[in-house]
Amino acid sequence: MPLDGKPIRRSKRPWKVAVIANIKDEEHPKPEGVPPDAFADFDHIETVDALRAAIETDSHTTVFIEADRELPYNLRRVKPDICFNIAEGLGGDAREAQVPALLELLAIPYTGSRVLANGISLDKTLTKRIWRDRRLPVAPFQEFTFGDEPLRPELKFPLFVKPAREGTGMGVDMKAIVKDEAELRERAQYIIGVYQQPALVENFLPGREFTVGILGRADAKQYGRHPEWYEKDGFHRFPILELDTGNSEGPWVYTNEAKSKDVGPEGNPGFFCPAKIDPELEKKLKHLAYRAHNILNVLDVSRTDIRLDEEGNPRLIEINTLPGLTPNYSDLCLQAAAEGIGHTDLALEILYLGAGRWGMLEPRELEETKKNGK
């Protein structure tokens, strides 16, 4: 992996690891003028604590640094060897890319995707344009900047309207499904006005919903703590998780309200993991997620959401380059658990993949390389 001309550093383990996150502030009222579900994608401090505990089992020291406007100063004070980045960022059109951009500027290693992949994947319209260009299946879509743009003929009611650049089901409730022009215009104006960003309008996908987690990289076997997890291509595909959307808050849609609740209580979608699907569909979904991940230059970890259209064909919805890592709660953790991978091992693997990429680890000598005498 190129290091952009920066010197390779092989910082001796244990490392000083800073977990960088935006934390939900539930004690203070939200500032005026923000959407009702603003900050829904921020983390609870318990998630940070769980990551720190996981990292400390490998004898590293950890510190939490909030991804707020003091971050640049705190980074210079703390001087971490590497950052475990789960920060969603604050405002702007590429908030998930803010922390990676700052860390690149300060030449501090960090986990997961870099600036471009984090920025593009937050923008669902740009993401889908890139996928479509490479012939990956997506539902017909159109971005509305003003709300009164003429609807393109390939878009057919019912349509689905959501903010182009949010996560965690923000701006998604049962009114996201619109069945005629009047509802479309009303919803598009609402999204544009309240979320201060374009509305993404797509054909409504009525079929089953899956999320596919990926871990790894072409050279993951050389740097991961668990080389045995990775297939020949260096990637690990987690068991597919299917959302039982029939049970969700509103039928068919995994809304912000549904996402914010703990797994189990009424109103929250149940899930099946591993999903009960035929092997052919499973192979297709895993292949699509793998391509979706690589085409965008996503690194090390991701979760891709896919739904079936009316003919049962999979269509990519979006990719999460910073998938939630709350133990026993976030989809990726549930997927890992379904095959016996615990939170500690998952977190450490992400850390090691990141560290390997920044030249902080000696590459492991692989059996194949030994045999070939290379």
Ligand X SMILES: Nc1ncnc2c1ncn2[C@@H]1O[C@H](COP(=O)(O)OP(=O)(O)OP(=O)(O)O)[C@@H](O)[C@H]1O
Long-range contacts of 342-347 (CB under 8 A, 24+ apart): 343/50, 343/54, 344/53, 344/54, 344/57, 345/225, 345/226, 346/54, 346/215, 347/50, 347/51, 347/54, 347/55, 347/84
Contact residue for ligand X among 43, 81, 282, 318 (CB under 6 A)? 318
Provide, rounded to whole angstroms, the least separation between the CB of residue 164 and Mg ion.
Answer: 13
Provide, rounded to whole angstroms, the least separation between the CB of residue 168 and Mg ion.
Answer: 8
119 counts as binding ligand X under rule CB under 6 A? no
Pull the structure tokens for residue 107: 């030449």
- The residues binding Mg ion (CB under 5 A) are 305
List, as one string, the DSSP characters of 91-155: SSTTGGGHHHHHHHHTT--BSS--HHHHHHHH-HHHHHHHHHHTT--B--EEEESSS-SPPPTT-
293 binds, among Mg ion, ligand X, none (CB under 5 to 8 A by kind): none
> What residues contact 254, with CB distance under 8 A and at least 6 apart?
169, 172, 209, 243, 245, 248, 269
Provide, rounded to whole angstroms, the least separation between the CB of residue 271 and ligand X.
Answer: 12
84 in Cβ contact with 300 (< 8 Å): no
202 binds, among ligand X, Mg ion, none (CB under 5 to 8 A by kind): ligand X
271 counts as binding ligand X under rule CB under 6 A? no
Q: Which is nearer to ligand X, 48 or 201 (CB)?
A: 201
Provide, rounded to whole angstroms, the least separation between the CB of residue 128 and ligand X.
Answer: 10
333 counts as binding ligand X under rule CB under 6 A? no
d(CA 21, CA 174): 30
205 binds, among Mg ion, ligand X, none (CB under 5 to 8 A by kind): ligand X
Between residue 57 and residue 96, which ones bind ligand X under the rule CB under 6 A?
Answer: none
348 binds, among ligand X, Mg ion, none (CB under 5 to 8 A by kind): none
Counting Cα atoms < 13 Å in the Cβ hemisphere of 298 gives 31
Contact residue for ligand X among 82, 170, 240, 292 (CB under 6 A)? 170
> What residues contact 361, with CB distance under 8 A and at least 6 apart?
10, 223, 352, 355
236 counts as binding ligand X under rule CB under 6 A? no
Contact residue for ligand X among 43, 173, 202, 282 (CB under 6 A)? 202
Q: Judging by beta carbons within 10 Å of its beta carbon (0-12, 13-18, 19+), is residue 5 exposed, middle or buried?
A: exposed
204 counts as binding ligand X under rule CB under 6 A? yes
Provide, rounded to whole angstroms, the least separation between the CB of residue 239 and ligand X.
Answer: 17
Instruction: Compute the residue count for the chain.
Output: 374
Query: Judging by DSSP bridges, how do beta strands 16-21 and 61-66 pair with one another?
Result: parallel
Provide, rounded to whole angstroms, the least separation between the CB of residue 48 and ligand X.
Answer: 19
Q: Report the Cα 136 to chain-centroid distance in Å.
A: 19
* DSSP reduced 3-state for 293: helix
Q: Which stretch binds ligand X (CB under 6 A): 68-76, 146-154, 163-171, 231-239?
A: 163-171
172 counts as binding ligand X under rule CB under 6 A? yes
Provide, rounded to whole angstroms, the least separation between the CB of residue 79 and ligand X.
Answer: 32
Q: Which is nearer to Mg ion, 323 or 356 (CB)?
A: 323
> What residues contact 28, with CB distance under 8 A and at least 6 apart?
none
Kindly state the number of chain residues that form the binding site for ligand X, as judged by CB under 6 A: 22
254 counts as binding ligand X under rule CB under 6 A? yes
99 counts as binding ligand X under rule CB under 6 A? no
Q: Which stretch binds ligand X (CB under 6 A): 62-70, 105-113, 160-168, 332-340?
A: 160-168
Q: Judging by beta carbons within 10 Å of its beta carbon (0-12, 13-18, 19+), is residue 175 exposed, middle or buried?
A: middle
The residue ranges that bind ligand X (CB under 6 A) are 124, 139, 160, 162, 166-170, 172, 202, 204-205, 209, 253-254, 259, 305, 307, 317-318, 320
